[in-house]
Amino acid sequence: MNFRTTGHFPPLILDDVRGAQKMLSGVARMTAMEGSRHLTDLVGAPVHLKCENLQRTGSFKLRGAYVRIAGLSPVERAAGVVAASAGNHAQGVALASALLGVRSTVFMPVGAPLPKVAATRQYGAEVRLHGHVVDETLAAAQEYAQETGAVFIHPFDHPDIIAGQGTVGLEILEQCPEVRTIVVGIGGGGLAAGIAVAVKAVRPDVRIVGVQAAGAACYPPSLAAGHPVSIDSPTTMADGIKVGRPGDVPFELVRELVDEVRTVSEDELSSALLLCLERAKLVVEPAGASPVAALLSDPKSFRGPVVALLSGGNVDPLLMQRILTHGMVAAGRYLSLRLRLSDRPGALATLLGVLSVVDANVLDIGHVRTDPRLGLTEVEVELQLETKGPEHCAEVSAALRDAGYLVMD
């Protein structure tokens, strides 16, 4: 099968992806495919997790970067390569360059997580911190390429990159030949486009669903317009798919071959990350958890067997802590409430006794005595509780009210 693309690049076909797979032999791992009983129960059909979070460098990005750099001429290799990235693409380019003996320079935002900066340097790249948003970093990298002659390695808008990412699709067909739906996160579109080229050429019946964060969803308006359009100030915790405009090359392939693009909320992303950690024992970054978020948001709309692609696992520990807290709140695992009680000895102990009976774990307590709305003998107590879910939250609130407390949510 042959699929058209725009621009000066030749059409991307299945043989390109197969060639990339041969090139990546011994470089990229065939990552594991793990079943998920919890998601299977929700969907009502088998659900498998394709664990690219366990790939070398912690994401699928090594695949495309290696294929792109390996395809350079000797003259281009001698000039070195340059890239711009907040994390995953940076590490993929750094390792691919080191394996191929090519000098690499990677521009990263000033606020990039320190573990990602350190990893990129350890893989052998020269890291330059520039700009506070990716667009500024990208401009600096392109300017460097013009000044030095280094080859700019785009994170998604090149056929070689797309062919490399498409090898994930070939592995999915090999590991789960009965697959009927593949769910994949979309940023610029290189991964989804590559998978679509590989899978649709062999199994046109397989449904491919792309997932974007609602705050950074550039594909829905672009697909509606029929061409790539930019969105202003994309905002999401999922930095791996935080892209303001689709790539020209992947857009055409996504438009032609991807069956549907959905969006997920920040609450759904954090809940999905928490589920991956608790149920699958897998560390996944928010972008990598986006397919799971889509499954959680509307599980009965997917035809199984389903493969959800966990595209990366590079998450800053401090961000992970905040996301897990956010995920537990979204899942009803934390309960914050205020209530009033008499300011007398033993009143707090009585309150804690009620919470003990309903098995609510107290994380924090605050007292307010200076609010003018309080009576002379009243105190307001702010409680942070760990609970077991939405039903338990309702049980705790009901028990407090039954005990005579005025609960102010």
Which alpha helices (H) appear in 114-176, and where do they start and end? 114-122, 134-148, 159-175
User: Is omega for the bond preceding 286 within 30 degrees of 0, making it cis?
Assistant: no
> Reduced to 3 states, what is the DSSP secondary structure of residue 212?
strand
Give, for 269, the enclosing helix (H) or strand (E): helix 266-279
CA 30 centroid distance within chain: 20
Angle between helices 390-402 and 347-357 (to 10 degrees): 140
Residue 46, token pair as written in the block:
């088998």
Encode 41-76 in three state secondary structure: HHHCCCEEEEEHHHCHHHECHHHHHHHHHHCCCHHH
Annotated catalytic residues are 61, 311
> For residue 367, what are the β-bridge partners?
381
Q: Which structure tokens are listed for 341? A: 């009680």
Residue type, 315: V
Q: Could you tell me how far CA 296 lies from the centroid of its own chain?
A: 15
